[in-house]
Amino acid sequence: MSKQLTMVYWKSETFWLGKLIEYPEIMTQGETLEELKEHLKDLYHDISGGHIPGIRKVDELVVS
């Protein structure tokens, strides 16, 4: 099953850094952009599998 997530990423002097908008407090890095994307995918699988405790989430709230 596929899920589309939003990532924010940037290049530092040595690494590509990034995080998932849906889980803003956790960052990861990679030597290449492709490696960063793989690490973000692994991170999502760890989060959704319950392997990282205390995860805060971002969601939308509709108020009428």
The pLDDT tens digits of the residues spanning 8-57 come to 999 999 999 999 999 989 999 999 999 999 999 999 999 999 999 888 88
Q: What are the residues facing 18 on neighbouring strands?
A: 9, 28
User: CA 21, CA 27: separation in Å to the nearest integer?
Assistant: 10
Predicted TM-score (pTM) of the model is: 0.84
> Do residues 8 and 21 make contact, with C-beta atoms less than 8 angstroms apart?
yes
Residue 19's nearest CA partner among 39, 49, 45 is: 39
Residue 51 identity:
H
